Structures are given as C-alpha cells and as structure tokens.
C-alpha cells in the first residue's frame, strides 16, 4: 500500500534497482573463445532469460560449440587426396563422428535452454514465417 503524504528528500535520492541490465558474466574457467560464445548467447536474449540455474548448461554449450568449431576447421583443411590412404580414411571418419557427437550435444543443450527456432515459434507463427512472400501484398514484394 502506498504511503500517504509528501516524500522526504532522502527517500527521493535512493535509486532503485529496476531497469538495471544484470546479465550473467562468463565464468573465469572458460577460455577466451568460450567466453566470446557465452557473451554472444547471453546478448541474443532478454536480460532476464538466463538465471544462475542456467549457468552450468550454458558453460557446457560454450565448450561444445568451441570444440565443434575446432573439428569443423580440421574437416575443412582435410585434403580429399588423403582419402586414398587407409589412415586418411580413418582420420576423416573419426573427425566426422566427432562432429556428429558435438552437434548432438549442442542441439540437446540448445533445446534444453529453449534457444532453437522451434522453441521460439508456435505452430501458427511458424507456418506464417515459412510462407515467405505468400503472405505479402504484391506491392510489398521486392523484385530482383
């Protein structure tokens, strides 16, 4: 219930904590690349989206994402001529399996934190978004 009467000068000078953006800071245990991923994810959502209870999953996501990037870099640098040799084939297969494992872990963590497109759309809005220009008026469509 509100207080009656005039407010004192002292009560007017006290600043409230509302409106302060208090996003989770990356843990000190993360590498610089993992911290960059953390900041990217944290900044992609409203300030109150992640709480301290999400920190462990977010840490794991950042680790898997950076690991996946390293594996992807190895796959991009892989020379197709190496596939002729059995060792090259084994290495390529191993890298592919590692990439698939990281992708599955990333996908599971993103789903758990409700960060996938599927979790952001309901059935009707997803259908509308997938129609592309069909929902636009003829004068709203840009011609190439």
User: What residue spans define the domains of the chain?
Assistant: 30-121
Q: How confident is the model at residue 92 (pLDDT cuts 50, 70, 90)?
A: very high
Dist. CA 39–CA 20, nearest whole Å: 17
Instruction: Answer whether 24's CB lies under 8 Å from 58's CB.
Output: yes
Dist. CA 129–CA 116, nearest whole Å: 15
| pLDDT tens digits, one per residue of 9-66 | 776 666 555 556 688 899 999 999 999 999 999 999 888 888 899 999 999 999 999 9
> Looking at beta carbons, which pairs linking 47-51 to residues 24 or more positions away fall under 8 Å?
47/21, 47/22, 47/23, 50/23, 50/24, 50/113, 51/24
pTM equals 0.70
Dist. CA 25–CA 32, nearest whole Å: 13
């Amino acid at each position: 219930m509100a207080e009656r009467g005039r407010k004192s000068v002292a009560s007017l000078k006290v600043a409230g904590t509302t409106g302060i953006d208090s996003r989770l800071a990356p843990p000190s245990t993360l590498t610089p690349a993992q911290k960059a991923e953390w900041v990217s994810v944290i900044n992609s959502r409203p300030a109150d989206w992640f709480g301290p209870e999400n920190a462990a999953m977010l840490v794991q996501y950042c680790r898997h994402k950076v690991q996946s990037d390293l594996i992807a870099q190895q796959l991009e640098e892989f020379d197709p001529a190496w596939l002729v040799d059995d060792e090259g084939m084994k290495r390529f297969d191993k890298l592919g399996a590692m990439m698939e494992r990281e992708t599955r872990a990333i996908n599971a963590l993103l789903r758990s934190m409700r960060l996938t497109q599927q979790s952001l759309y309901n059935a009707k809005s997803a259908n509308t978004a997938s129609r592309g220009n069909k929902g636009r008026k003829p004068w709203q469509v840009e011609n190439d």
